[in-house]
Structure 1
């Protein structure tokens, strides 16, 4: 988890190469010149009307960056995401280009079109006896002594063919390696041939034993044993399986240097290696060279290309691969369709995914559970509830395979979309199922739906059923019920659920802490102590911080340092919700000044990046990720900043906008309805826009008139 180092109060200048020096006096969080500097950067590509006087021949000066842009280098260092540290930057798509080849100097081939044949065994009169003997070897202990004891029972030394058959049949890899070493000692006359190394390397590849495989390869080089295509292919695929991609490329390069040409299998494997490294240009170059040599890619190669483009959400690349398959006449199988569906999901193309699925079923292929799960996830992410439910009916009609993952994915989608009736039918289907009884994830998904819809009695009944079943209680189910009881103001039940969860061995995480903190933010004084008592058993530091911000005598510097420590101990995904709840608590206790301080610190720590966006045509305030109290606080700061800008006679945009969102969840009303009445109470000119749902818009003239003639002195108390 990234930590937030201590730092002094900062004054942001144009260059971040200059050291930031601490100020002697703490910043005033209510000062709009600190929180919302004006004017902002101009958005490129938009023609706007210039509202300040300037000579037509002079280009307008570049406005200073807004606070989010100024803070970006700072909070990226303070709150860096660990899960993005190893991500490779997406590379631009370059489709293979036609290349002119000089007839007098043709390009060298990059692969052989003759696939290496599998190892075939001649008829062996002792095959039945050898199978019995191999079973005996597989059943013996994993020790050299035990293996030699079993080998001593052979009536005569194994021939080359017998030894090869035994080596190819031994499992696990330890047995094959021990037998190979025994052959090297007792039958070196034929055990040093390339084919024996190939077979034992194949067994070691299954066990992901890269060090041993590479050691055997080095041994072959020292002994002068020739490598063939199978040798290199086994080494490369073993490195790929062990995710040692650079090693795979190293041996692939050596393969060319020694004059050995890869076959189609090896070529597809190295394409996958480059794809996993995110080296799109190299993949396409190899693909182009192979096609120029007459290579006809199979479904495996196209699956590699589709997955590569899907990882970066490159829709054009996915479409190109589909067109290539059609032009060559390669018919994808179910596995390839699954790969493309997952890729289209990452690319955010639900319509194309639906068309591809229809093409798959029209071709006579039966989708498996992986196919259906991928499609349900795509529909859920796109909020295509109707299509997802039609797919479910199609599954039942065609009796397509259903598994736990698919059922739970459907339930999760219903939870996201608030489809209570459909979720109950799905859950009942699972109850009637023989192989897919509801598990803890199934109960949690339905609990989430009941909790979101305020169905307290249904949620409580389902929770008790879960406790009586064989399914283990998990953190999310307890968290959902805590939130449900909290919204219903049943604080005693909140404490009871918390006690049951702890008694059942649940270790409360940051999400449960956030849920308790959220409940505390709307509790009355006589109830909040019960919630904080539960929270103190999990996160005493957070409770101490709640007490600290409730004390007006604590200065800003102490609040800042303790807040930084609280965030350092919290996971990245709950930091902003924590800040939202703490601001709500301050407003609940009429501590408006403290709420503004916390919002300021949240901006400094990068919790509210993208809060405000400015261009020459529009300045907007984005409140979608804020709680009601935090949104009110941000609005007050923003309006104060607008008032300062008007007083200074700064250049203003043509319109101003507040984005609250519309609440995509069925049970979610979003901030729109709450803010509509709040803005009317402020006598503001902002009104909901029909063309932009979830946006409140006001013109420049309306805003200027409002801030000049309106009474904004009571903003902090609203």
Structure 2
């Protein structure tokens, strides 16, 4: 636990409960019995709450009752005649199967005769597993024995265990009310049984309620009861009370079970306090409590939400070393963690492990895997998953399944396969959506089938699917690889999707005079009305189109507009010891235009007498989708053409540096006019790359 728990409540002899969603008794004070530290082994073999007679006054036979299920049962058998023991077992079995009526119960128990001992009554009640018949049996035995008030409480406590075993909390409460009507004062055993019954019935709020009733009946919760109720406080998210009890449990070495630790992990997970989840898990191992499947299935989702896929992988490996077999919950959590954390090979490994263990993989999980395959270009794996779904006999591909596979085929320009999948999708009764149209547009664009691009856009419009921002970016990117005579077809498609964008593109293609303020106003209005996530991709594509159309001034105007609108923020950065250019998430054309503007600004700064420090360019280390090239490799070759003495930093991938002295010498040798002319020719020669839109 964190230090804030250890620094408080060092001697928790009394405390007041915080407000709880299950109880209004927020001011009750609890005082705990002073108990010796409880060790794990002793509590496994004997628990005072499970042996009520031992905790009450001695029986008339002066022999302690022994739970037949405990290791001490052999001692009991030595002292109890075999015939009597066999008869008691037979009677108990008959009572468990009979109707809850006095005549039937009396007929069975008459075999005991009139001289029924307390030990025999406790034995019968303890072995019962029928909560409907138990009250009738209790009344019969009570009337036969006519016990003292203390011994009558023992019988009621043992009878209450039947309701706990049967998870009949309502019946347990009725029995408790009957105790009060008979003027019996409940003790710690009574409350411990009620709390455990509520816990087993997944009624944590009622468990808390019964725990908080104890002071009102003069009962002081002991270590066993407090350890039990930590689970309940954790489940109702009464963090303060759960932490207080948990802190005391560690200080006084109470025995805590696996379920309690799992509840604490879940509580902290719900609070998004993921470090505390791990702290509790570490405490669990230190205290020698072995995690079970439920523990791991509680911890792994917390680690997934904390976005720590590598940690999830380590925990899973530890789980397997502990000999615990994962189930569907484990696997599905790991799949989501690995996919979200870009552990793609590990995700596919989990998928294959699920198949080997014959654990069904739902369509939703398969779709997540297919989407991952589409992102990274795992064609064979995507086809394998798709065929697995179809051959499962349980699941069938849905809309997302077909969409993901079409995307994978499109990324590899497999036109016939993508078209076949589209036809199968329609034949299966699914209507295509924008996530189908966009990859098909990209697919036809890759193989320069412009007429098919137009056809699929028109087909989508017939289905009521209007190209969105991502689809329009794809169309713009295709234009940078399309012969001039066919650009009009693509402009028509764009205009049908977005008239404002179509007008801006037509402005560029038809070559209106550069510097036209109407163009800037129209483009500014377009970008301002565009969704935030599309602004930069759209501006990148428009600049790439300018580069393709031999319009460097338009490209600079668009870059300046993007900077003004804060689409391109912090591209240029000046620190006392270094001026840098940051080009991550820019297309090649936009990055080269930014370089053009930056070098021009550097030349002007040098001419005005400013002192230049060292210079740096950050291209990032990412690669274009399904390409071995990234911006860094493209930039390296163009810096060489510029004869710019930048060098790539060996310890900082994606960074290019030039010293202060070398930068000053290089810029002086160029001059601003020469720089502009040379850069214009270089920018126009930049090849456009396939961008991930």
**Which band: TM-score by shorter chain?**
0.5 to 0.7
Q: For residue 683 of structure 1, what is the aligned residue in structure 2? A: 643
User: How far did residue 610 of structure 1 move?
Assistant: 4.4
Deviations 1:320-378 (A, max 9, x none): 23212323455445454244333334444333211211222344443333432332333
User: How far did residue 712 of structure 1 move?
Assistant: 0.9
Residues 1:563 and 2:523 are matched in the alignment:
yes
Unaligned 5+ runs, structure 2? 19-29, 33-46, 48-95, 102-131, 133-168, 171-193, 684-693
User: How far did residue 429 of structure 1 move?
Assistant: 2.0
In the alignment, which of 534, 537, 555 is matched to residue 574 of structure 1? 534
Q: For residue 448 of structure 1, what is the aligned residue in structure 2? A: 407
In the alignment, which of 685, 705, 712 is matched to residue 675 of structure 2? 712
Residues 1:629 and 2:589 are matched in the alignment:
yes
In the alignment, which of 410, 413, 422 is matched to residue 372 of structure 2? 413
Structure 2 CA distance for aligned equivalents of residues 286 and 583 of structure 1: 63
In the alignment, which of 92, 96, 107 is matched to residue 5 of structure 2? 96
Secondary structure in structure 1 of the residue aligned to 2:616: strand
Structure 2 CA distance for aligned equivalents of residues 476 and 694 of structure 1: 32
Secondary structure in structure 1 of the residue aligned to 2:5: coil
Q: For residue 19 of structure 1, what is the aligned residue in structure 2? A: none
Unaligned 5+ runs, structure 1? 1-92, 115-121, 128-160, 162-197, 200-228, 241-250, 275-280
User: How far did residue 702 of structure 1 move?
Assistant: 2.8
Deviations 1:17-67 (A, max 9, x none): xxxxxxxxxxxxxxxxxxxxxxxxxxxxxxxxxxxxxxxxxxxxxxxxxxx
**Contact persistence 1:450–1:456 (CA under 8 A):** yes
TM-score, length-scaled by structure 1: 0.60
Q: For residue 387 of structure 1, what is the aligned residue in structure 2? A: 346
TM-score, length-scaled by structure 2: 0.62
Q: For residue 653 of structure 2, what is the aligned residue in structure 1? A: 693
Secondary structure in structure 2 of the residue aligned to 1:712: helix
Structure 2 CA distance for aligned equivalents of residues 334 and 449 of structure 1: 36
Secondary structure in structure 2 of the residue aligned to 1:416: helix
1:637-656 pair list within 5 angstroms: 637-656=597-616
Distance 1:285 1:604, change over 3 A: farther
Q: For residue 209 of structure 1, what is the aligned residue in structure 2? A: none
Q: For residue 487 of structure 2, what is the aligned residue in structure 1? A: 528
Deviations 1:589-622 (A, max 9, x none): 2332222222222223332334344545544333
**Contact persistence 1:369–1:406 (CA under 8 A):** no
User: How far did residue 126 of structure 1 move?
Assistant: 9.2
**Contact persistence 1:407–1:426 (CA under 8 A):** yes
Distance 1:352 1:102, change over 3 A: closer
In the alignment, which of 506, 509, 513 is matched to residue 472 of structure 2? 513
Deviations 1:151-188 (A, max 9, x none): xxxxxxxxxx9xxxxxxxxxxxxxxxxxxxxxxxxxxx
Distance 1:703 1:126, change over 3 A: same
Aligned length: 508
Deviations 1:564-613 (A, max 9, x none): 43234332211211111122222222332222222222223332334344
Q: For residue 500 of structure 2, what is the aligned residue in structure 1? A: 541
Secondary structure in structure 2 of the residue aligned to 1:713: helix
User: How far did residue 476 of structure 1 move?
Assistant: 1.1
Structure 2 CA distance for aligned equivalents of residues 637 and 306 of structure 1: 54
Structure 1 CA distance for aligned equivalents of residues 628 and 272 of structure 2: 31
Q: For residue 146 of structure 2, what is the aligned residue in structure 1? A: none
Secondary structure in structure 1 of the residue aligned to 2:560: helix
Higher RCO (CA 8 Å, separation ≥ 6 residues): 1
**Contact persistence 1:618–1:657 (CA under 8 A):** no
Q: For residue 139 of structure 1, what is the aligned residue in structure 2? A: none
User: How far did residue 557 of structure 1 move?
Assistant: 5.7
Range moving further from structure 2, 469-478 or 605-614: 605-614
User: How far did residue 546 of structure 1 move?
Assistant: 2.7
Range moving further from structure 2, 105-114 or 520-529: 105-114
User: How far did residue 287 of structure 1 move?
Assistant: 6.1
Q: For residue 203 of structure 1, what is the aligned residue in structure 2? A: none
Q: For residue 54 of structure 1, what is the aligned residue in structure 2? A: none
Structure 2 CA distance for aligned equivalents of residues 574 and 673 of structure 1: 26
Residues 1:504 and 2:413 are matched in the alignment:
no
**Contact persistence 2:309–2:337 (CA under 8 A):** yes
Residues 1:464 and 2:423 are matched in the alignment:
yes
Distance 1:421 1:600, change over 3 A: same
Secondary structure in structure 1 of the residue aligned to 2:644: coil
Residues 1:584 and 2:544 are matched in the alignment:
yes
Distance 1:321 1:102, change over 3 A: closer
Secondary structure in structure 2 of the residue aligned to 1:96: helix
Structure 2 CA distance for aligned equivalents of residues 645 and 284 of structure 1: 61
In proportion to residue count, which structure has more helix? 2
**Contact persistence 2:304–2:312 (CA under 8 A):** yes
